[in-house]
Structure formats: structure tokens, C-alpha cells
Structure 1
């Protein structure tokens, strides 16, 4: 075990909103990102929720966040590419990266869209059976963002001048592309294709039924396949809820939340044999001790601790504040301030 020092502290939010007042929900998400920057977090990540009451357009939300922050990096964890046209997404990602001053960290994944049989006629009415939902879709996005293969579009037509690659081109963006994977094959593919790797609180039980053991094997497989080897970037995402400054009511709510989710962590779930990590609830000292015993945590220098999706804004403020001011320093992290 390397016992790497925690270098980048991040958090993840889903950005829930009330369907009758979506503006307020999006505003609170932006406020949380602003708070994260003030607290010294290195990264803020948002998760998508298509056709639900959560962020459906993470790129648009991060475009807004880029104009209300100046330092914190902004990520997506993750954009499911089954919903996206890689060329159009490449344009949007590059645009936000330029607007943010090179702070965007796009995370993506593959596979058919959720509830595919229900949405396919609305999403791809003419091409549903021909769509590629495998790694080829990520490879297309990588090629377009890297801009290394001419598109054959350069030239002039009348007064219009056309480029030979996606515009705007943001040279550093390709090095900040992440793949969110829960299996060994995904980890190896991301490494072999020079991406960064997001590993979360959800993995597939392929060679073991021990969550930490599985996650460690994914990190090792990713780095073994990556050109950068042991220096390849990995971010670990777990649900982490420090309670140091929480009220008694908040502590009770947090404990009840974790208790309802604990049964799913005891064995693989469903045909895909999905394993979930237990939520970490307790004082910063207690959580730091549990993370210190996690062999996968010992192998990462970056984290994106997930905020529970159904909590209130006051809860998020308390959790983020305790994370930045108490938990992260106990893990060896120190903020990088301007």
C-alpha cells in the first residue's frame, strides 16, 4: 500500500429541485459550489438526472458555475454518453472549459440510456437500433476533443470560414477527461486510452464480494494499463457524512439515512452483482480512521465525497464545512488558496 497523501478534495452533488420551482433548486446548487470554493475545496462535481428532478444538463450548470467562481475545478460525475452526440458534446465541453479558464473535468460513462425501452423512440426515433453505446462512443469524444484527426471540414464557403476540428479547441481539456467505471474491463479500457479514472461507491462483484478489495483491484488494473502507470489520476467517491458540528436532529437524520441503505451493502445486488460501499457517518476522527483502514483510499490522491441526495441545504453546508475544516485536514489535506 502506498499511503498516498490526499492532494485534491472534492464533493459531488445531484442538484435536486422542486418540479414546480426548478430555478430555486438550480440556484442552491450554484450556491453550494460557491461555498465549496470559499471552503477551499479543489473540485466540485455534479451528477446528471435525465427526466428526473435533478440536474439534466450538467454542462449548462457548470457554465453558470464557471462565472460565479474563479478557482475551484468543475466536474461531471458522470455524463452518460448514450444520451449524447459526441461531436456536439465536445463543442459544449470545450466552450465551458474556455469560459472557466481551463477548470473543467468532464467525467463520462457508456452503456444504453436508463429505461432504454421507454425513451428510445423519443431519443433516437430513426437510429435507435444502430446507435453504438459501447466504448467507441467515448473514443469518438476523445478524438474530437484532442483534435488530432482532421475532420475534412476546413475551407471557405462564401463568407464562412470552417475549421478542421471542433471549435473552440481547448488544448488542456483532453488531459482532464475522466471515465467513471465500476468494473475491471472499464478500468483497463480507461487506462489503456489515457483517461483519468473515477471510482465510486458502486462497483461490480466480479472477483470478490469485498467492496474495498474490488475497488482496489480496479485502481490497480487502471494504472497497470495506463501510459502514466502509478502516477495516473484516480478519484474515489464515497458517501461521507461528518457530524462534528451537526445538531442532534441532524445526527439522528444522518444515522437513519445510513441505516436504511446499509442492507444493500452486505451482498451483491441483482443480475449485475452490484456492490455498494457503506456510507461513512460519524465524527471526522472516526471517519478518518475508517478511511485509513481502506486499502483503496490508500491508493488515491483525490476524492469526490458524495453529498446525500435527499438532504436539505443546511445539512449540505454543515457537511461541507466539517469536511473541509475537520475531516480533510485529518486525512492530510490542506487547502490551496489564491
Structure 2
């Protein structure tokens, strides 16, 4: 693949940040305690290696009851004690299945443990009846009102992280006197300025701007307009930036764009990825539309020759709007392949896009 990239170079002087996204895979309910612990340790090792390579941010997903990381803040707390510079992020925590005050408490403690390195990424999360039952999180008016319930929980979370008074005691409680104003304890100064929202549509991108979030866009668009994936995603990002500039003119936008990048120079790396690539491609048609008929689109999985991947990224409209490129690692691959992927990106792709190793 060869494209004319002369007009797609990053602006002079702009440093593109580089992150990666890991699922921290295990084998789910079939995992022995020893193997589950090893998977978590492998995940910590990946973050340590990324810090050595100069990555800016390491992100993790939150998946309940699947063979992936189920408790991201606990995991990142452990990572924070084995790293010193790398920023630690969630991409994303589905707020509809969280108690907002408890989430704020956990996030605040993690931020303090990490020295202020938490980047807390949030989203609504997709509705699932079984999870609503298990987490007792169903909205009061049924599934149709789940967006309203998400906004209610987001509002409570934001109030807590911003240090607002959450309640006033009518009577003494434990060590606290009557009349005491309850606020997030301990507070985490600055964390409220490092909150992201995972958007997949124009409406959710604009809502993120109105609520003051930084913006995450991923490998999935949750709306189908007929436009190519990256074209529609670029429109979402531009709409977010335009509205944010109107609402907060003195604030510079932060936008992360995730792409599946699997460069490989060794035949065995390509062979290891074939099953996953077939699984990923089998979910969609050539335009990224799900074969199930759902109204959404997936991004391509760029794999193989690093130069071809670079050409594709240079022509990516959405990436031209980003402040951070996030390497989405395949959910099923060996720890060794994940480490080689991170290194190859730093050697053959990211520098040509305007990134330099973080210090």
C-alpha cells in the first residue's frame, strides 16, 4: 500500500503522544489461580516495558465476566507501584454498572498512590439485562431510560471528584459530628481535570464537550452514516473540539484515537495472529459493518508491513485531529508478541507521526 502522505504530516512542532490499550487477557472461568495471577503479572510487565520504551500512557479495558481484566483500578494500583512516569488510564469504565461514590473513592486513592498519574476514562456501557440484575444497576424507568441513569451517575461522580458537598449529617455518624459536610475522602486534587469520555457518535462526542471531558474515540463507531469509518470519526472529533472551544476557549483539547496496529517482521508473529485476525474480520464486511446488521462500524486492523501501516495512518482523517495515538493490542496474543508490537511501533511507525519518547 502506498499513499501520498505529503499533506498528512503532523503540524510542525506538535508532539503526538503515544499510548497502548491492553485487555490483560486470561482464560476466564477455566483459569487456575496460578495462571490468573501470572496473567496479571504479565500485564504489569507490559506496562513496565512500555514505560522503558517511552510510551506516554497505558490504558486498560474493563470487562465483566469475560476472560479479561474485571477490576482495572485495582490492577492499575499495582502497576503504579512498579512504574514511575507512565500515565495510567481506563478505556473505559462503564459507569452504568458502578456506584459513583465508591468509584470516586477508588479513583482518588489510585491517583494518590500513583503520584497523580491516573487518566480516568468513562463511558455509558452497553445495556445488558444480566449485568443490570447482578449489579442491581437497572434504571428506575427500565432499559429505555438507561442514558438518563448514566447521566445521573456521571453527575454524582463528577460532584464527588470536584470536591462538592455530597451530604450534610443530620446526626453524629461514627467519628463525625452532626452538621458535618461530607466530601470525597481522601481528595485527589487535579483528578477532575483528567477525566475522559469514550464517545462513539456525534451526539456523545458533543455531550463529552458540554460536560468538560477529554475525548476518547476507539475502534468502534456506534452510528452508521454511510461514510468511511475514519471520516465519520473525524467529524465527531471536530464537533467535539469546536464545541469545547466555544465553552472553554482557554483550554486545549485532549483527544485519543485508538487503532489496531500489528506490525511484524517475523513470519512467526504473523502466524500467531492469524486466528485473531480471522475472528476480527469475520465480524464485519469489507466496509466495517457488522454482519449482524447492527448500525455501527468497526475500524480496520492494520497488520504486517510497518511501512504500509504507516501509510494508512498518515491518511487517517481522525488521527490528524488527535493529541494521542493509542495502539490497541489484540485481545488474544502472547505477552511476548504484545511486547514486540509495542517496540516495533516505537521504531517504525510512531516517530514518523510526530511522536518522540517521553522523558
* TM-score normalised by the chain length of structure 1: 0.90
Render the CA deviation track for 1:184-230: whole Å, top value 9, x for unaligned: 11100001111001000100334333101110011011112213468
Give the alignment partner of residue 164 of structure 1, picking from 171, 176, 182.
182
The alignment status of 1:239 with 2:253, answered yes or no, reads no
Higher mean C-alpha deviation, range 153-162 or range 267-276: 153-162
Residues 205-220 of structure 1: pairs in structure 2 closer than 5 A? 205-220=223-238
Shift of 1:24: 0.8
Name the structure 2 match of 1:314.
336
Distance 1:175 1:240, change over 3 A: same
Residues 1-338 of structure 1: pairs in structure 2 closer than 5 A? 3-4=10-11, 5-18=14-27, 19-20=31-32, 21-113=35-127, 116-124=128-136, 133-149=149-165, 151-153=167-169, 157=173, 159-160=175-176, 164-226=182-244, 227-228=247-248, 231-244=252-265, 247-254=266-273, 257-262=276-281, 264=284, 265-269=286-290, 270=292, 272-337=294-359
Shift of 1:258: 3.0
Distance 1:267 1:283, change over 3 A: closer
Distance 1:142 1:235, change over 3 A: same
Distance 1:125 1:325, change over 3 A: closer
Aligned residues: 333
SS at match of 1:239: strand
Higher mean C-alpha deviation, range 103-112 or range 311-320: 103-112
* TM-score normalised by the chain length of structure 2: 0.85
Native 8 Å contact 1:6 1:300 kept in 2:
no
Measure, in 1, the Cα distance between the counterparts of 2:231 and 2:138: 43
Native 8 Å contact 2:288 2:299 kept in 1:
no
Distance 1:309 1:112, change over 3 A: closer
Shift of 1:253: 3.3
Measure, in 1, the Cα distance between the counterparts of 2:48 and 2:289: 37
Native 8 Å contact 2:95 2:153 kept in 1:
yes
Shift of 1:272: 4.2
Native 8 Å contact 2:200 2:218 kept in 1:
yes
Measure, in 2, the Cα distance between the counterparts of 1:154 and 1:41: 49
Distance 1:228 1:327, change over 3 A: farther
Distance 1:153 1:283, change over 3 A: farther
Render the CA deviation track for 1:65-124: whole Å, top value 9, x for unaligned: 0111000000000001121000100000011001000000011111454xx222333321
Distance 1:152 1:276, change over 3 A: same
Render the CA deviation track for 1:162-183: whole Å, top value 9, x for unaligned: 6531111112101110000101
SS at match of 1:224: helix
Please provide the CA RMSD for this pair: 2.5
Q: Structure 1 unaligned runs (5+)?
A: none
